[in-house]
Amino acid sequence: FSTEHLPKMFAGLNLLRKIRIKKLNDESILAISTHCPHLEELSLKCCFGNDISLTCVLELLRKCPIISLSIPGVKGTGSGDMHIIDLCMASKTLVNLEVSSDLWNRDNDPQVNFFELPMAKRLCAERQMFMEEAAFKASGGRVKLTFLS
């Protein structure tokens, strides 16, 4: 079925606590944040290529008592560590956060030939380290950050 029907579907799910779902968009995320006030766990699967903005995910975190959030397809528009800080500070209940390295916008990266694997791996590891440190500081150690490939 198409994603255009998802917002209406969530209207009757106000007691929902856990959901794993594919192919969401911003409108669906906002519908979840509006109609599922008890949601504790959200796992977005196969969202690559769909437009899910960090802004809508932040709105979800502000409205729902999310404990565990997996957002592998959400891409950032800037520094990944700043996005992690925003995510951790938007929720007092978040404990587990799974993201992909796409959360860090690569437009401002130094030009790296990704065929030079050691350099590419080092750059990715540095990004992940910055994001892990940001999660620890912003949440007081509450949020465990995991990277999905």
At 116 the pLDDT is 63
Mean pLDDT of 4-10: 66
Higher pLDDT, 122 or 111: 122
- Render the burial of 93-127: b for 16+ CB within 10 Å, e for the rest: ebeebbbbbbbbeeeeeeeeeeeeeeeeeebeeeb
- φ/ψ bin of 23: left (φ > 0), alpha (ψ from -120 to 50), beta (otherwise): left
User: Residue 106 — very low, low, confident or very high, per pLDDT cuts 50/70/90?
Assistant: low
At 117 the pLDDT is 62
Q: CB within 8 A of 31, min separation 6: which ones?
A: 6, 7, 8, 10, 11
pLDDT in tens, 61-89: 999 999 999 998 787 777 888 999 999 99
pLDDT at residue 44 is higher than 60: yes
